[in-house]
Amino acid sequence: MKIYSAQQLALRNGQDRPEIWVAYRGVIYDVSESRLWKKGMHYEHWAGQDLTEELVDAPHTEKVFEKFRAVGQLQ
């Protein structure tokens, strides 16, 4: 898998580019197609970063990532 830096991930925050990416446990997922991540925002969480620690606050598990494509790994 391709490796991206935190800086490269930050560009996919839903504001600067059309892509919306989120990292979880070192894997970067493309959530651009999700209606729940429009403009990179999801219930006060922002895309373009590693949200591993924030997932504990979510009402769901990491199963939500299953339907999304892994685009790479976070450096």
Residues binding ligand HEM: number (CB under 6 A):
18
Please tell me whether residue 19 binds ligand HEM under the rule CB under 6 A: no
Helix (H) or strand (E) holding 72: strand 69-74
Residues 32, 35: Cα–Cα separation, whole Å: 8
Q: In the set 27, 28, 51, 74, which binds ligand HEM (CB under 6 A)?
A: 51
Where on the chain is the footprint of ligand HEM (CB under 6 A)? 22, 24, 31, 34-36, 42-43, 45, 51, 54-55, 57-60, 64-65
